[in-house]
A and B are shown apart, each in its own frame.
Chain A
Amino acid sequence: MSKKWIYILLTGLLLFTTAFTVIKIKENYFDYPDYWPVPVYDFKKNPVTKDGFQLGRKLFYDPILSRDSSISCASCHLQATGFTHVDHDLSHGIEGRIGTRNSLALINLAWNESFMWDGGVNHIDMQALQPITNPDEMDSSLLEVVDKLNDIPEYRTLFYQVFNDSIITGQHTLKALSQFTISLNSYNSKYDKYIRKEDHVTFSQQELSGLELFKINCSSCHKEPLFTSTEFKNNGLSIDPTLNDYGRYRVTRDPLDSLKFRVPTLRNIQFTAPYMHDGRFESLREVLDHYTTGMEYSKTLAPELNNKIELTSNQKTDLLVFLKTLSDFEFLYNKKYSFPRTFN
């Protein structure tokens, strides 16, 4: 064996033993596995700090963001359900008002190039503006929120600690919220531990079969390791005449974008029901039935879905069993992300 081959073999062995184990701790509150892609978010413009994260967390759980101080971000983004609103097909607002889309799960947002089902929001800092100002959600304005915050000495102190300015501004309010939401990273599911060969985690025959089926039928859009391609696709849903939502077309005005919506992450998908932009499916079984027998074919349909997906009932069960391995209980019950009864 030549020296070159020995070198390659040794490098391979080294990679095999070291890769897939180390978790990068970029900041106190932002970490992710080292084999993941580099986040899109520019941390230089808004470095996540302990105090900034805690301030963002306090704001996230504070109903002061809504006009009548009745609902907070957490009203529709509950931690235990992957930071989305379980059992509600469309998002809720103040005074029982109802929006037009299903609230998205807030998971691994630092890898998103845009936000919302249609990608209309171009930066996570600006994401909070939408629910704060939407009449069907919090029905307030950033000015109103900042005025209310400036009246509270505790907030002025906290903002001073983070931004060195006790006059609270819109920019700082949005950046503080970003420091919390950008840190909601999920990477400790059974699947992750299986991939990292951690804690002696093994997959059952059913889970292995589900993973294979997933790779064949789903992973071109729900790409590992984030389980989304962060693209917009028409996945063959028929139009709901009570909503007439054409998705990304509203943003780009490009007919080629008609009926396209964000490919959502499948992480913690077991708990983020109902599914799709309008929450039309209550269970994952219904979602799989849609892909096998419910597809509506149209001009903008994702090319990945042109070939009919065929799955037997048993295969669907295997796939569902696999999808449950994407549940990350360390994320869903991490006290770091929960309602801040006390700081720390």
Chain B
Amino acid sequence: MYIGGIKEHVLNREEVLVVKIKPTFNGHSFTKNTWLITSQNDSIQISKLRFYLTNFEFIDAQNNSIKIPESNYLIDAFDQETLQFDLKTIKKTNFKHILYKIGVDEKLHDAGAQSGALDPINGMYWAWQSGFINFKLEGKSPSCNTRKNKFTFHLGGYKMPYSTTRDVRLDLYNKEKYIIIKMDISSFFNDLSLTDINQVMTPGEEAYQCSLQLPQLFSITNE
């Protein structure tokens, strides 16, 4: 009984899976306010890149789903501390897929004040029109005919048809201790001309369209 108890305990012991987020621009790491060139030939500097990754879930070889409760993370591309976090899984197995959301679960946008990464203290919640800002991207570009050439993308909105929370599903092929998720922010600008669209700060059609591009930013990498 005693030995059996220990055995069971070992088998069901919670294990930790480390997730690393690697922000890149065209595959290269970048720092705050360095000059970058988009595929649309806009020169840009990125000063802020903050976004939520939430509702992590794994699919194992037998197609079982393992959901990680309350897995809500606020990522800041320029804050190293936010680029790595531990997911507590029941038991580490050979997972085939990782699933998560970019942005906060729609159900939590009107559920009152939340805690941790979702605490409105983090400046990712709109005051005048309730709801989380799922994704913030700010910077400058000479292509923007705005005050100080600034562009501001605050993507939010949780009501249909303009929800901006996006699902991501990625294949896992490495069996390493770490899962490294690469984020290539250059893809955000692939179909976006900064001359035409540079200020999105309300829920609606524009924010929704911008959010459709977000899942393409993420991939699994070995590096």
- Footprint of B on A, CB under 8 Å? 42, 45-46, 120-126, 129-130, 132-134, 141-143, 146, 169-172, 174-175, 178, 250-251, 253
B111-146 contacts to A, CB under 8 A, are 111-115, 119-123, 125, 127-131
User: Are A171 and B125 in touch, CB under 8 angstroms?
Assistant: no
Which residues of B are found within 8 Å of A120, using beta-carbon distances? 128-130
Q: How large is the interface on B (under 10, 10 to 19, 20 to 34, 35 or more residues)?
A: 10 to 19
Known: A121-B128, A169-B121. 14 other contacts (CB 8 A): A121-B130, A122-B109, A125-B112, A126-B120, A130-B128, A132-B127, A142-B120, A170-B119, A171-B120, A171-B121, A174-B112, A174-B113, A174-B120, A175-B113
User: What is the bound-complex CA distance between A174 and B119, given in angstroms?
Assistant: 10
Which residue of chain B is the closest to A41 with respect to CB atoms? Answer: B112
Assess whether A134 is in contact with B119, with CB atoms less than 8 Å apart.
Answer: no
Q: Report the minimal beta-carbon distance from B139 to chain A, rounded to whole angstroms.
A: 22
Contacts of B125 in A (CB 8 A): 126, 129
Interface of B is mostly: loop
How far does the alpha carbon of A46 sit from the alpha carbon of B125 in the complex, in Å?
A: 20
Within 8 A of A (CB), among B19-78: none
Distance (whole angstroms) from the CB of B52 to the closest CB of chain A:
16
Judged by a CB distance under 8 angstroms, whether B15 is at the interface is: no
Task: List chain A residues, Cβ under 8 A from B215.
Answer: none
Contact B204 A253 (CB under 8 A): yes
- 10 tightest CB-CB pairs across the interface, nearest first? A170-B121, A125-B112, A122-B130, A125-B113, A174-B113, A122-B110, A129-B127, A171-B113, A120-B129, A170-B119
Q: Which residues of A contact B121 (CB under 8 A)?
A: 142-143, 146, 169-171
Tell me the total A-B contact number using a CB cutoff of 8 A. 70
Cα–Cα distance between A134 and B127 once the two chains are bound (Å): 8
Complex Cα spacing A173 to B204, Å: 30
Q: Do A45 and B128 touch across chains, with their CB atoms under 8 A apart?
A: no
Whether the Cβ atoms of B111 and A171 lie closer than 8 Å is no
Chain B residues lying within 8 Å of A253, measured Cβ to Cβ, are: 204
Cβ contact within 8 Å between A171 and B109 = no
- Bound-state Cα–Cα, A124 to B114, Å: 13
Q: Enumerate chain A residues within 8 angstroms of B119, measured Cβ to Cβ.
A: 169-171
Q: Are B127 and A45 touching (Cβ within 8 A)?
A: no
The listed residue with most B CB atoms (<10 A of its CB), out of A121, A132, A172, A175, is A121
A56 → chain B closest CB, angstroms: 13
Q: Are the C-beta atoms of A45 and B115 separated by less than 8 Å?
A: no
Instruction: Give Cα A269 to B215, complex, Å.
Output: 52
Is there contact, CB below 8 Å, between A171 and B129? no
Is the CB–CB distance between B204 and A129 below 8 Å?
A: no
- Provide the bound-state CA to CA distance between A121 and B121, in Å: 16
Query: A170-B120, A171-B115 given as contacts; is B127 within 8 A of A130 (CB)?
Result: yes
Offer 22 A-B interface pairs, CB within 8 angstroms, sorted by A.
A45-B112, A121-B130, A122-B130, A123-B110, A123-B112, A125-B112, A126-B125, A126-B127, A126-B130, A130-B127, A132-B127, A143-B121, A143-B122, A170-B113, A170-B119, A170-B120, A170-B121, A170-B122, A171-B113, A171-B115, A174-B113, A174-B120
A321 to B110, CA, bound (A): 40
CB-defined contacts of A46 to chain B, threshold 8 Å = 112
Q: Could you say which residues of chain A place their CB within 8 Å of the CB of B111?
A: 45, 123
**Minimal beta-carbon separation of B64 from chain A (angstroms):** 31
Residues of chain B with a CB closer than 8 A to A250's CB = 129
Q: How far is the CA of A124 from the CA of B115 in the complex (A)?
A: 16
List residues 170-196 of chain B with CB under 8 A from any CB of chain A. Answer: none
Partner of A133, one of B114, B127, B130: B127
> Shortest CB–CB separation between residue B193 and chain A, in angstroms?
23
The answer to whether A141 and B113 have CB atoms under 8 Å apart is: no
Which of chain B's residues have a CB closer than 8 A to the CB of A175?
Answer: 112-113
Bound Cα distance from A174 to B125, whole angstroms: 13
Provide the residues of chain A in CB contact with B115, threshold 8 Å.
169, 171
| Nearest B-chain residue to A132, judged by Cβ | B127
Taken together as a complex, chains A and B put the C-alpha atoms of A169 and B120 apart, in Å, by 9
Contact B130 A143 (CB under 8 A): no
Chain B residues lying within 8 Å of A133, measured Cβ to Cβ, are 127
Q: How far is the CA of A173 from the CA of B115 in the complex (A)?
A: 11
Closest residue of chain A to B110 (Cβ to Cβ) is A122
CB distance from A316 to the nearest CB of B (A): 37
